[in-house]
A and B are shown apart, each in its own frame.
Chain A
Amino acid sequence: MNTFLGLDYNIWWFLVFGGVISGYAILDGFDLGAGSLHLLLKKEQSRRIALNAIGPVWDGNEVWLVIGGGALFAGFPVAYAAIFSAFYVPFMVFLVGLIFRAVAIEFRSKEPMLWWRKGWDIVYCVACIIIALSLGLMLGNVAYGIPLNEHKEFSGNWLSFFNPFSILVSITTLALFMMHGAIYLTMKTENRLYAKLHILANNFIIFFVLSFVITTMYTLLYVPHLSDFFRGNPGGFVIPVMMVLAIANIPRQIKKGKYRYAFLSSALTIALLLIMVALEVFPYLLFSTSDPHNSITIDNAASSPKTMKILLIIALIGTPLVAIYTTFVFWTFKGKVKLDETSY
């Protein structure tokens, strides 16, 4: 009764939510990555080009976060309530980071003074790094699990969020975004700036691979409950294998000068990473480390079947619309960045 195409509503919404989060990570990921490496670009002209490469799209990309928040609130209100009240402090830092990023992009170009622009460049870059790190920290803790009481609310101390596993995930997230952002920028730039970003992209690939390998080894050794799925389902190994291939494909495409394919490979890497996390945590949305009975699953967190059905209808109507005009906007601004009178 409460199924659609043979799958439970709750599973469908888990897929929708996962899809939106992946969309956010892929789209805002390159904005945040480009921002995180902003200070490595030294010339004013280079910084302007980098900013204008994300200029027309970053706002639309951030919308995916809003949709994700709404999707979690609507479909899994218990998880929404638990996650955001538990991660109160890191989440507030994350939100303030988002504010400063938006403001820095908006205000930087409005004054010609060097001190003004350099000041906003620092704000912008630091904000992007903080956003990426705090996102990664929260993702790490959600994957690892946190102590929950019988009302499914957080019962621990927020300082415990700074555990080695979550810190590793946090650094890996930053590295992933920086790689992704650098590849996006190579796609949008020319000449010497392009040559510089080409080198940066290759360095960030190494940075990401190193941090990813360390995190994976740490997980296998110290966080066995996050590798149960792959131990129990050897067929699932096809996903990490695909991911390794996707990562390997990135420098190969860069070498060939096919940046669009390199960018798609890096987007695929992000998607596969999140699919791995999803498979490992499923059916939990938030695992309780104090008492597993208090864990939040897709079933005990879900809204009523009626609401789930309404949400699926909303998603079925809304997703194609969003896809159409997102494609239209990206297509309008395709190609290398050309500064004009409307640029930042």
Chain B
Amino acid sequence: MDVEILARIQFAFTIAFHYIYPPLSIGLGLLLVIFEGMYLKTGNQLYEQITRFWIKIFALIFGIGVATGIIMEFEFGTNWATYSKYVGDIFGSALAAEGIFAFALESGFLGILIFGWNRVGPKVHFFSAVMVFLGSMFSAVWIVVANSWQQTPSGFRIVGEGMNARAEITDFWAMVFNPSSVERLTHVWIGAFLAGAFLVLSVNAWYILKNRHLAIAKPSFRIALVVATVFSLLQLFVGHRSAEGVAKNQPAKLAALEGHYDSVARADMYLLGYVNNKKQEVTGIRVPGGLSFLLYGNFNEPVKGLNAFPADERPTQVNAIFQFYHIMVGIGITLIALTLLASWLAYRKKLFDKRWLLWIFVWAVLLPQIANQAGWFAAEMGRQPWVVYGLLKTSDALSKAVTANQVLFSLILFMVVYILLLVLFLYMLNRKIQHGPVDYGTKEAIEEGSKRDNPLMGH
């Protein structure tokens, strides 16, 4: 295999693995602020226990998120040196802003959040929770801004030629608020809120099914259900806005999302399907003219198809892009149905009797995760063959000094390490969930904990 494909696999693998964690941090961050805010407002110990429990889980998720995130920051330099030189003037400033404004805020206050219960008052502790949450939100801002600039570059000019060409900022705010950044950022944020809310739903649904910690599990489930319902509905509108943006700014990507080749024809929308890129055919269940209608409100309006672009300026993995996109949309619709049904049952006070529905919620934690991953795969593969849309090809962006063997070595290294990490993460997460939220912070728990933590005592 050549350096390009190895480097792309490595980037996809490391970023996809990393992206399991940040959405959970952002989403749990929101719920922590809500839980601890309710504790502060009501003074009810119940909410303190809930907060303490989820902070423990947050710490675990955050730890792995940081460890795998640092890799990402340097991977641009190690594997994509030409890209780094090309976009450093622009991309670098977003990354620097992320480090100093977002990440430092988040990591600094995390120490107080986890270890500070006995060192600071409840208000300062709550303030730390808000800062950690804001830090994680700001992180998403700068990273999505940087990525959106790659999708829809603006506020720049190209200086130099060939190997020495690079993009330079001409207008910082035009770069930050490039045509796709706001829509994509809100889309990412909401995806993250859903990931966090569904984790809380899953764990508490399981407690309710097992008849454990009911006093804590039921209110936690209700709060998370409100968050999940609101944001699944909101995601429908935000996601639609995002698709309209893609139609306007990246028509080749939009055509790939629905496997649309012919520019003259109206564009169909598929519920399910399979794209044969050679024959330029899609087989599946479709709404004739559906895409035309969604974009322009008219079933017969033509939509620019893939054939309108030169063969070397449009994505080739059309079927994969199509599938990823449809998985994301399908999950989005499922989440709306699921949360609306549960909310209605909760309103009728019948929710916690429906064991089958609770079992669905136990497993539904995977859905937002899959949707987040699939959405990013569709977005990034849909941008190919460009790394910076219309300006720099992925194949031109590599490090010239790095050999295929070196990339292969690091790829295998990361695979081994990350699989180990995932196993450990799931093991520890399961342990914490099995332990449950009850005893944290109570006197018995401290005594119990110190016994558990000191195996050498008594020897």
Could you list which residues of chain A lie within 8 angstroms of chain B, going by C-beta atoms? 43-45, 48, 55-57, 59-60, 62-63, 65-67, 69-71, 73-78, 80-86, 88-89, 91-92, 95-96, 98-100, 102-103, 105-107, 109-110, 112-114, 117, 151, 153-155, 158, 303-304, 306-307, 310-311, 314-315, 318-319, 321-322, 325-326, 328-329, 332-333, 339-343
Contact = CB atoms under 8 A, between A and B. Distances in A.
Nearest to B105: A325
Given A98-B67, A103-B421, A303-B92, A48 B453 contact: yes
Contacts of A158: 406
Interface in B101-141: 101, 103-105, 107-112, 114-120, 131
B413 A66 contact: no
A218 to B, nearest CB: 28
**Interface SS of B by simple majority:** helix
Q: Which 3 residue pairs are nearest across A and B when measured between Cβ atoms? A: A77-B88, A84-B77, A74-B92
Q: Which of A91, A319, A341 has the most CB of B within 10 A?
A: A341
A58 to B, nearest CB: 9
B63 A66 contact: no
B100 interface: yes
B347 interface: no
B262 interface: no
Nearest to B424: A107
A74 B175 CA distance: 14
A295 B424 CA distance: 45
B454 A310 contact: no
A63 B69 CA distance: 11
Report the interface size class on chain B. 35 or more
B88 A74 contact: yes
A67 B84 contact: no
A73 B95 contact: yes
B455 A112 contact: yes
B154 to A, nearest CB: 15
10 contacts: A57-B111, A59-B107, A80-B77, A84-B77, A85-B77, A85-B81, A95-B71, A103-B67, A307-B90, A328-B108
Nearest to A111: B431
B73 to A, nearest CB: 5
B426 interface: no
A80 B84 contact: yes
A304 B77 contact: no
B279 interface: no
B453 A70 contact: no
Contacts of A339: 450
B181 to A, nearest CB: 17
B263 interface: no
B153 to A, nearest CB: 15
Contacts of B120: 332
B67 A102 contact: yes
Given A69-B74, A102-B67, 5 more contacts: A56-B114, A66-B99, A70-B95, A89-B410, A310-B172
B111 A67 contact: no
Interface in B29-51: none
Contacts of A44: 454-456
B401 interface: yes
A315 B92 contact: no
Contacts of A303: 88-89, 92-93, 168
B136 to A, nearest CB: 13
B100 A342 contact: no
B85 to A, nearest CB: 5
B64 A103 contact: yes
Contacts of B414: 96
A311 B112 contact: no
B76 interface: yes
Contacts of B249: none
B99 A332 contact: no
Contacts of A85: 77-79, 81, 399-402
A306 B84 contact: no
B449 interface: yes
B88 A343 contact: no
A80 B92 contact: yes
Contacts of A114: 455-456
Contact of A81 (B67, B85, B168, B452): B85
A81 B63 CA distance: 27
A343 B56 CA distance: 11
Contact of B100 (A67, A103, A304): A67
Given A56-B111, A341-B449, A88 B96 contact: no
Contacts of A311: 93, 96
A67 B70 CA distance: 10
A68 B41 CA distance: 40
A322 B100 contact: yes
Interface in B155-186: 159, 163, 166, 168-170, 172
A123 to B, nearest CB: 11
B82 A307 contact: no
B98 to A, nearest CB: 7
A278 B91 CA distance: 26
B333 to A, nearest CB: 37
B425 to A, nearest CB: 9
A329 B424 contact: no
B428 interface: yes
B414 to A, nearest CB: 8
Interface string B377-420: 00000000000000000000001111000100110011001000
